[in-house]
Amino acid sequence: MEKTVSFHLNGKLTEILIDPNLTLLWVLRNHFGLTGTKYGCGIGFCGSCTVLIDEEPVRSCTLALSEIEGKSVVTIEGLAKDGKLHPVQKAFVDHDALQCGFCTPGMIMNATGLLLKNPSPTTQEIKAGMEDNLCRCGAHMRIIDAVHTAAKEMKGGK
């Protein structure tokens, strides 16, 4: 039942011989050592496992590996380029938009996906787009500010 699944992982073409029914979350964490993608619930309710698949934010805990064949997966580890933080990461640092930091990778990936689709979101649109990513520490207000800042930064960079 093992099969070769090939996909782009953080920009690199990757092949893995594996049971394609395994979920992306645990394969990323356990087989690729990419532990920035977090387990928070395993059933799609918290968003801490969010990664980008072909630029769309997706919950990796409910996604079978077979579904990413030929696609491009970006995790939190693949966001910074050449040691330079991605604007969303930088904005999270500048706004101190985190406390325990456990929801942070999922928040950043979801926000990045949001900004790829909507480069200048309103506060309402940010709230709606981030709604189902949960943060227990209550960093929400700063996350919204960080997304605004990142939006400006990303447009400036283009």
| Chosen from ligand FES, another protein, none, partner binding at 112 (C-beta under 5 to 8 Å by type) | none
**What is residue 26's three-state secondary structure?**
helix
Nearest-angstrom CA–CA distance, 138 and 147: 16
137 in contact with another protein (CB under 8 A): yes
Q: Which is nearer to another protein, 34 or 154 (CB)?
A: 34
- The angle subtended at Cα 121 by Cα 119 and Cα 127, nearest 5°, is 135
Nearest-angstrom CA–CA distance, 34 and 32: 5
Bridge partners (DSSP) listed for residue 22: none
**Binding residue for another protein, selected from 36, 57, 113, 121, defined by CB under 8 A:** 36
100 in contact with another protein (CB under 8 A): yes
Nearest-angstrom CA–CA distance, 122 and 37: 27
| Chosen from another protein, ligand FES, none, partner binding at 142 (C-beta under 5 to 8 Å by type) | another protein
99 in contact with another protein (CB under 8 A): yes
65 closest CA partner among 4, 6, 10, 24 = 24
Q: Which is nearer to ligand FES, 97 or 157 (CB)?
A: 97
**What is residue 151's three-state secondary structure?**
helix
Q: Which residues bind another protein (CB under 8 A)?
A: 22-23, 26, 29-30, 33-43, 45-46, 48, 75-77, 79-80, 85, 89-90, 92-94, 96, 98-105, 108, 126-128, 130-144
Which residues make up the interface to ligand FES (CB under 6 A)?
39-42, 44-49, 59, 61, 98-104, 135-137, 139
